[in-house]
């Protein structure tokens, strides 16, 4: 039921985006957190993937949204697949794979160690409220 409500909210936002021909600036609680990760202690390959992640994941929403969200691998994969489906993301499947690898590394290194500091996936209620705020402005 929650997934259905969440999907409906996402589809609604997507439809409004198409209608106005631009991305909607929906503010989520995650957006108010840090928009950078100190990856200086990460392996060089993960530092490189972080730069790709930060570039690609900030095209449609704040980098903070992904940085401050914790999800399962399956949920992250769904999110990345949605990104790949957007022509404006200009992200290849290989780049999507690298982004997922970085996200999962970061989940293990940073988020699992302090789960209370991060948000889970947006609920249907949060999406509905965020959409209301955008529509009322």
For residue 6, name the pLDDT band (cuts at 50, 70, 90): low
Look up residue 88 and give its DSSP letter: G
* Domain identity same for 55 and 103: yes
Euclidean distance between the first and final Cα of the chain, in Å? 29
Range 57-82 average pLDDT:
89
* Domain identity same for 45 and 100: yes
- Give one word for 70, left, alpha or beta, with left for phi > 0 and alpha for psi -120 to 50: beta
Range 75-101 average pLDDT:
93
* Domain identity same for 101 and 37: yes
Write out the residue range of the structural domain in which residue 46 sits.
29-121
Q: What is the CA radius of gyration of the chain?
A: 15
> Among candidates 121, 97, 135, which has minimal Cα distance to 7?
121
- Identify the top-confidence range among 15-24, 39-48, 87-96, 122-131: 39-48
Range 102-125 average pLDDT:
82
* Domain identity same for 79 and 23: no
Question: Which pLDDT value is given to residue 45?
Answer: 98
* Domain identity same for 49 and 82: yes
User: Which residues make beta-bridge pairs with 69?
Assistant: 119
* Domain identity same for 51 and 16: no
Question: Which pLDDT value is given to residue 24?
Answer: 47
* Domain identity same for 51 and 86: yes
């Amino acid at each position: 039921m929650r997934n259905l409500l969440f999907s409906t909210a996402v589809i609604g936002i997507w439809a409004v985006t198409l209608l106005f021909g631009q991305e909607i600036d929906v503010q989520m609680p995650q957006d108010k957190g840090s928009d950078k990760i100190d990856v200086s202690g990460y392996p060089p390959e993960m530092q490189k993937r972080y730069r790709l992640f930060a570039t690609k994941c900030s095209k449609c929403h704040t980098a903070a949204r992904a940085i401050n969200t914790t999800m399962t691998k399956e949920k992250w994969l769904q999110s990345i697949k949605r990104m790949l489906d957007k022509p404006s993301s200009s992200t290849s499947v290989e780049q999507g794979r690298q982004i997922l690898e970085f996200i999962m590394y970061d989940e293990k290194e940073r988020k699992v160690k302090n789960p209370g500091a991060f948000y889970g996936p947006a609920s249907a209620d949060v999406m509905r409220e965020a959409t209301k705020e955008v529509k009322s402005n």
